[in-house]
Amino acid sequence: MNTATVELLTPTEIRKNLSRALARVSRGANLGIIFKNEIFMLRPTKVVPDYAFEEYGITPQAMKRIIKKLDEETEKKIATGKTVRWTGDIKKIVRDRV
């Protein structure tokens, strides 16, 4: 990493005006956050409507089949007690399983 072209900020500095820092990055500025002994670079990431296709080449039709199969497998596991639905209440889930 060529730190001569990177502006390094502390977490406190970036927190003061995160929106301004993000706007600068979107215009091409090289900003990094220095934390302990590491530098975390801020980089814009392209948002795509179909991540599975963009990243892995999975067509929308294939993704529908994959989702259906995963849903069916999940329902079977729930029915056989191999897994439970997450309700957000871990104490209740543990109580119900004992």
pLDDT digit string, tens, across residues 51-92: 888 888 999 899 999 999 999 999 999 889 888 878 888 888
The separation between CA 82 and the C-alpha centre of its own chain, rounded to angstroms, equals 27
* Whether 37 and 55 share a structural domain: no
% residues pLDDT > 90 (the chain): 54
| Residue 48 pLDDT exceeds 70 | yes
Contact present, 58 and 52 (Cβ < 8 Å): yes
Nearest to 41 by CA among 22, 55, 27, 19: 22
* Whether 56 and 35 share a structural domain: no
Looking at per-residue pLDDT, the higher value among 42 and 45 belongs to 42
Q: Is 17 helix (H, G, I), strand (E, B) or coil?
A: coil
* Whether 33 and 8 share a structural domain: yes
* Whether 58 and 20 share a structural domain: no
What is the rounded CA–CA span in Å between residue 71 and residue 4?
50
Tell me what pLDDT residue 4 has.
54
What is the rounded CA–CA span in Å between residue 36 and residue 98?
44
